[in-house]
Amino acid sequence: MKLTKREQEIADRMRRLGVYKPEFDETIRRYRKLSDEFASLYGKYKKDGYPFETSGPQGVKKAPVVVTLESLRRDLLDLEDALGLSPRGLKKLQEEPFKAERKARKTDLLI
């Protein structure tokens, strides 16, 4: 199945980082769908004036939309890690970008 334009942009980010493989396409689709869902829900949350708490018979608690947004955010971060789109995820997939160039101590002493 061909990637959508938005999914292709995600794959291009991964290519620039040197971690893209076609095997990631399904995960890229899932990431895009969750991202779209998060953006839609966040837009509604913003439009409603950012309701954080609701009152009920048991007292005050987090609004259901807040709980859902928190869950989606965690899922998105997990997928970003899996795709190498976060520093932690990139490090798991490819340690080379984070390895500092090691200089011989002798080089420091010569200067």
Q: What is the pLDDT of residues 9-50, one digit of tens each?
A: 999 999 999 999 999 999 999 999 999 999 999 999 999 999
> How confident is residue 54, by pLDDT bands cut at 50, 70 and 90?
confident
DSSP category for residue 63: -
Q: What is the pLDDT of residues 67-101, one digit of tens each?
A: 999 999 999 999 999 999 999 998 888 765 556 55
DSSP category for residue 62: E
Residue 106: the pLDDT is 60
Q: Break the chain into its structural domains and give their ranges.
A: 5-99
* DSSP string for 4-61: PHHHHHHHHHHHHHT---GGGHHHHHHHHHHHHHHHHHHHHHHHTT---EEEETTEEE
**pLDDT for residue 107 is more than 80:** no
Q: What pTM was estimated for this model as a whole?
A: 0.76
Residue 29: the pLDDT is 97
Task: Please report where in the chains the tokens 């997928």 appear, as a residue.
Answer: 79
The angle, 0 to 180 degrees and rounded to 10, between the axes of the packed helices 64-83 and 25-47 is 150
**pLDDT for residue 6 is more than 70:** yes
The angle, 0 to 180 degrees and rounded to 10, between the axes of the packed helices 25-47 and 5-17 is 120
- Mean pLDDT across 58-72: 94
